[in-house]
Amino acid sequence: INAGEALSAARQRAEAGRGRGGGGPNRSERHAQLLRLPVRGRGALAKRSLLDPETKWRDPERLPGLRAMVLQQSYFKGSLTEDRCVMHRGSGAVVFSDASGFTALTERLSRKPDGAERLSQCLTAFFTPLINYIYAYRGDVIKFSGDALTIYFPAVDDNEDPRWRKLVPPHGSYGLPDLGPMATACLRASACCIEIHKRLHQFDTGVDGVRLCLHIGVGCGDVTILQVGGVVPPETHVPRSEYLIAGNPIEQISIAEPLAKNGETCLSPQCWELVKGCVVENTERKLEGREDFHLLLKMNESKYTFPSIKHAAMQRDTRHENQFALSELKVIRKYMPSAVYKQIEGGTLTYVNEMRYISTIFISGQGVDASTEEGASIAQDLTACLQRACYAHEGTLNKFVIDDKGMLFLLVYGLPPLVHTDDPTRAVLACFDMVNIFKSMKLDGRFGVTSGRAYCGVCGSARRMEYTVLGDTVNLSARLMANAPKDSAHPVMVKGKADPIPIFAPSRKDPPPYVGIGPGGRILFPWNEVSGSADASKQNILLLCGLRNWEGIRKVQSLLGGQFSAELHMKPSTVPDEPLTGQPAVLPPSGSPFAQGGVMLLAGPPGIGKLELAEHLVTYAASHLQCLPVFGSMGPRPTDIERLGIELLRSTIAVFRHLDPSLPGDDFMAISEVMPEQHDDVLDLVQEALAGNSNPDESRKQELLYVLADAAAALLEVVLRKKSSIVVVLHLELGTSRFPSTLSVFDCFWDVANALLPFAEPGTSTLEHTKPLSVVIIATEAKRRQPCVQAAFNSGFAVELTGLSYESSIEYMAKYLNVPQSVLPEPLRDFIVKISLGNPLYIRETIDQLISHGHLEMEPGTAGSGHACSVHCHPDLESINIAAWAQTAMVGETVCLLESLEPLPAAVVKVSTVFTGAFTLADLASSICPQWAGATNFDSLRLFRAVRQLLELKIIGTVQAEHHEGQPQAYEMKNVLIRKVGASMVLEAQKKVVKRQALVDRVLSRDLPARMVEANAKLREPHIPWYYENVLTAEPY
């Protein structure tokens, strides 16, 4: 009837327009009026904002169903505001539907090359009809919990709407009395469950015989829907919030759902009381111990049928009148992961589905009733604290729900763009911080942490979807959380596993007992003490610093004086046994930082040789120049920035202990004896920090660092007055963190370095001493705006390291393999140099991987052959799948870089890996935003901007060639490592499409203009049919 009325009105408007002389709406306008759609580009309606209250139309198909209907209704009612924690209070039925079979499906498809695509298809095929049935009965999917759904059927009094005739009650059965809003909601939920089982039980996925089933629990009562969180993630500037449903029905379904088996629905006692006259109970199976719960069999078809109930619910459903359109995307942006929002914004939502290695954390918090005002406040505080702890390690808060386990949080490490090589470590460290949060709030918490391969992507249908993670590793994390014993680490049995699962109870690693000068005068470098790689570090120093033409060792040795000697590193690094007296046997060059003091900088990417140079520098300065070392390191974890101050204090007191062996062995007692009186007020803080008992919150960690650094500076002043040279080594390690909000935590490192500048700069110190203090800064990036970095460059003491030259790379390979350079095959040389980019760490990793995979073999030489050995490599090195070396730093860091890009630059990188040679902007646009498919100039501008970003990051480069006027700029993927890793992220079918589209576009761009000119010329000529031509050319009679 409504459609007929709309059609009649449209015809009347069209006839009225024709009566005014043809000035009425055209066909597109008439269709727009009929479908309540906007008219694009015409009239005031096209220009009016969708947020204008006078704009009555909605176009829900333009925006995917990314969030629950109740959230959208709350927004239009004005209850969804920043300052309100409770966004909805109401009553109704709540359904929890759990699917069986998805874990087996995910595990089977994870081993297939097209597993992500096929799993996405299976999810869509199953959830699309399921969600359609739910919404047909006026249900609302509140949350996806993996493959489970939490559904809310609100109790609404449809009789209040004057549009509906009261002759037929809301339940849809003529002649029967109205049941009331709550009973009607429970009836709709029961009918929905019956039809779902009827239509979708034993759903065939088409994958190795895997079938999907549902078991469902139903409860009813008062509910509260909250929005909690509001902390800004590191990858965006928009606060991230979660919404959840709480109330007594959640407790009911937490009991009812486990009682139901596959294909069954269990009703709570409260729900059964309302619908027991409308449905038939399944009495074949008794629920032992819970006789008050009831299994649902079918509708009481003498009174009600699920088709009539569904029809009445659909007819009275007015929720579509207030749905989000595309312009409201920013309203729900804070309720979705930023990566999903950016994919929607760029029109690439289908690319988010993938199989990837992730680390998941399930957290259960108990003892809070979130449906009360006090409980809602506690839930908000807890969520915000957990978000800060999670984001500090660059993780993602994926879910927050309330179920039978209490408050349940799902945190994931490894989701784009927050991808790191050490995500499992980050997850465990984040748990340590979160445990402290639960203790401070006096709440009980249980944690389960796992790492493995899982499906990460959109789950649901176009009508309602969420970004989620599915797989055995996710389920195992939840079951470890629920089943792991509190005070033991014995293997546990979990659902779905035949054998016990080994579990571990990690604890924070204790700091090394010594930093700086240790027992026997041995120099203990903090980065080696943490990793336990002192022996490997010595070997790397001999390999790298022994290169004949490496600019790094040349520059450092010119500041130290003398020549590099391998003998210095044949034994552990030590300082002289006796306290330093008199002048050193070797004097540093005049004007170097070791002669007069100053700041020295070692900058370069990871693995380039900074630490090797620093170790050689400290060892040489201690043994030849009588410089005593002091260390301070920060990173890569942003949660322990105070470690820099602690290490400065401990290594400084180690210098005192070396000069005066009578000092106590306990660091705090020794500090108490030598600390100047004016700094006695900080001794309590120093004692707590050294004992590891301070545990300051995030806001006080920086303050504590400054206090510890100031105390260390006071002790250094005492040392300098004793005429002892000092070399202070400050090391900043950023790891794979890439986002400014995370990296800004490390700005205090530069504050400490700048505070030491007056002690080191010659002529600026007020101390009366003759021995210099030199500060050596080790960092990935030379931040020239920092005064200490400027001082290093102004003095000529800055060493910016880049990759080894071709000749040095070959020499390094030969030394690492312990073979002559002459036996290295030319293809092997070229391949390793291209892949490693001259990075010593990457060279070692490449050689190790080639050997471990059988692509590189060495044979000992035979007597009289004249060769010490022979080296054989794979005949086609270019065909090796380097992307499979995910455990290496070279591949891991490259993946992190690519994953951190915005969607459009990431798409450009992936497309550019398909071209073996140069490519143009038009080649990229042919598959990303082709001009023949309706692309606009703005699309081309966005693509150009993405290319410029990649040029700045040096991921791609320009091709330097002679260009004719009008010829487009050509680009090239010069980084072979990025090319190979990026190409692994593109499916073979996608590569074919990119190549085909680029070839078609090139042909069209070359030939189409001329053909169009020819075609237009023909159109301008008058067309004379052939039979008229005969008449016109015939001779007159």
3-state secondary structure 249-312: HHHHHHHHHHHCCCCCEEECHHHHHHHCCCEEECCCCCCCCCCCCEEEEEECCCCCCHHHHHHH
| Backbone region of residue 57 per phi and psi (left: phi > 0; alpha: psi in -120 to 50; beta: other values) | beta
Predicted confidence (pLDDT) at residue 296 exceeds the cutoff of 90: yes
Residue 46 is predicted with a pLDDT of 29
């739910």: which residue's tokens? 134
Residue 965 is predicted with a pLDDT of 57
Strand 773-779 with 140-145, pairing: unpaired
Average pLDDT in the 197-213 region? Answer: 91
Give the integer Cα–Cα distance in Å for 372 and 200. 37
Structure tokens at 840: 């010593």
The closest alpha carbon to 735, from 616, 892, 600, 528, belongs to 892
Predicted confidence (pLDDT) at residue 970 exceeds the cutoff of 80: yes
Residue 288 is predicted with a pLDDT of 85
Average pLDDT in the 361-365 region? Answer: 93
Predicted confidence (pLDDT) at residue 207 exceeds the cutoff of 50: yes
Residue 531 is predicted with a pLDDT of 63
Which residues, 6+ apart, have CB-to-CB distance to 618 below 8 Å?
523, 525, 573, 627, 629, 727, 729, 776
Which helix (DSSP H) or strand (DSSP E) does residue 89 occupy?
strand 86-100
Residue 528 is predicted with a pLDDT of 85
Give the integer Cα–Cα distance in Å for 131 and 461. 7
User: Helix H segments across 393-468?
Assistant: 423-440
3-state secondary structure of 869: strand
Predicted confidence (pLDDT) at residue 806 exceeds the cutoff of 90: yes
Structure tokens at 755: 């505070």
| Cβ(159)–Cβ(177) below 8 Å | no
Give the integer Cα–Cα distance in Å for 295 and 284. 9
In order of 365, 383, 450, 459, 489, the CA distances from 361 in angstroms are 13, 14, 7, 20, 18
Residue 770 is predicted with a pLDDT of 61
Structure tokens at 126: 């199953």
Residue 862 is predicted with a pLDDT of 53
Predicted confidence (pLDDT) at residue 654 exceeds the cutoff of 90: yes
Residue 906 is predicted with a pLDDT of 87
Give the integer Cα–Cα distance in Å for 774 and 795. 12
- Between 485-489, 739-743, 1029-1033, the lowest mean confidence (pLDDT) is in 1029-1033
Residue 563 is predicted with a pLDDT of 86
Tally Cβ neighbours within 10 Å of residue 705. Answer: 26
- pLDDT band with cut points at 50, 70 and 90 for residue 20: very low
Beta pairing partners, 299: 279
Q: What is the DSSP string of 9-25?
A: HHHHHHHHHHHTTS-S-
| Cβ(868)–Cβ(819) below 8 Å | yes
466 φ, ψ to 5°? -150, 155
| Cβ(949)–Cβ(971) below 8 Å | no
Structure tokens at 521: 């005068």
Count how many Cα atoms sit within 13 Å of the Cα of residue 169 in the half-sphere of its side chain: 16
Tally Cβ neighbours within 10 Å of residue 223. Answer: 25
Tally Cβ neighbours within 10 Å of residue 356. Answer: 17
Mean pLDDT rounded to a whole number for the chain: 84
Residue 336 is predicted with a pLDDT of 85
Residue 85 is predicted with a pLDDT of 87
Structure tokens at 352: 């988010």
Task: Tell me the per-residue pLDDT of 377-421, one tens digit each, with 9 for 90 and over.
Answer: 999 999 999 999 999 899 999 888 877 667 889 999 999 888 998
Which helix (DSSP H) or strand (DSSP E) does residue 741 occupy?
helix 740-743
Strand 523-524 with 598-603, pairing: unpaired
The closest alpha carbon to 449, from 501, 405, 495, belongs to 501
- pLDDT band with cut points at 50, 70 and 90 for residue 966: low
Distance, first Cα to last Cα, the chain: 72
- pLDDT band with cut points at 50, 70 and 90 for residue 768: low
Residue 699 is predicted with a pLDDT of 66
Predicted confidence (pLDDT) at residue 287 exceeds the cutoff of 70: yes
The length of the chain is 1037
Residue 363 is predicted with a pLDDT of 93
Quick check: bond before 417 cis, omega within 30? yes
* Burial degree of 141 (CB within 10 A; 0-12, 13-18, 19+): buried
Residue 864 is predicted with a pLDDT of 47
Residue 529 is predicted with a pLDDT of 73
Q: What is the DSSP string of 138-182?
A: T-EEEEEETTEEEEEEE---GGG-TTS-TTS-TTS-TTSPP--HH
The closest alpha carbon to 671, from 646, 705, 695, belongs to 646
* Burial degree of 493 (CB within 10 A; 0-12, 13-18, 19+): exposed
- pLDDT band with cut points at 50, 70 and 90 for residue 50: very low
The closest alpha carbon to 141, from 150, 130, 132, 133, belongs to 150
Give the integer Cα–Cα distance in Å for 1036 and 1032. 9
Tally Cβ neighbours within 10 Å of residue 51. Answer: 10
623 φ, ψ to 5°? -85, -30
Q: What percent of the chain has pLDDT over 90?
A: 38
Rounded to the nearest 5 degrees, what angle is found at the Cα of 282, between the Cα atoms of 277 and 287?
A: 110
The closest alpha carbon to 637, from 887, 414, 428, belongs to 428
Residue 6 is predicted with a pLDDT of 40
3-state secondary structure of 588: coil
Average pLDDT in the 345-353 region? Answer: 71
- pLDDT band with cut points at 50, 70 and 90 for residue 498: confident
Task: Tell me the per-residue pLDDT of 444-488, one tens digit each, with 9 for 90 and over.
Answer: 889 999 999 888 888 888 888 888 888 888 989 988 998 877 777
Kindly state the DSSP code that residue 445 receives in the 8-state scheme.
E
| Backbone region of residue 218 per phi and psi (left: phi > 0; alpha: psi in -120 to 50; beta: other values) | beta
Tally Cβ neighbours within 10 Å of residue 373. Answer: 10
Give the integer Cα–Cα distance in Å for 370 and 224. 8
């080649």: which residue's tokens? 923
Give the integer Cα–Cα distance in Å for 220 and 250. 8
| Cβ(681)–Cβ(711) below 8 Å | no
Residue 583 is predicted with a pLDDT of 65
Residue 7 is predicted with a pLDDT of 38
Predicted confidence (pLDDT) at residue 59 exceeds the cutoff of 90: no
Give the integer Cα–Cα distance in Å for 300 and 173. 12
In order of 564, 638, 758, 797, the CA distances from 597 in angstroms are 22, 31, 10, 11
| Cβ(997)–Cβ(914) below 8 Å | no
Average pLDDT in the 623-628 region? Answer: 89
| Cβ(81)–Cβ(206) below 8 Å | no
Question: 274 vs 692, which has greater pLDDT?
Answer: 274
Question: 325 vs 195, which has greater pLDDT?
Answer: 195
Task: Tell me the per-residue pLDDT of 786-802, one tens digit each, with 9 for 90 and over.
Answer: 999 999 999 999 999 99
Predicted confidence (pLDDT) at residue 644 exceeds the cutoff of 90: yes
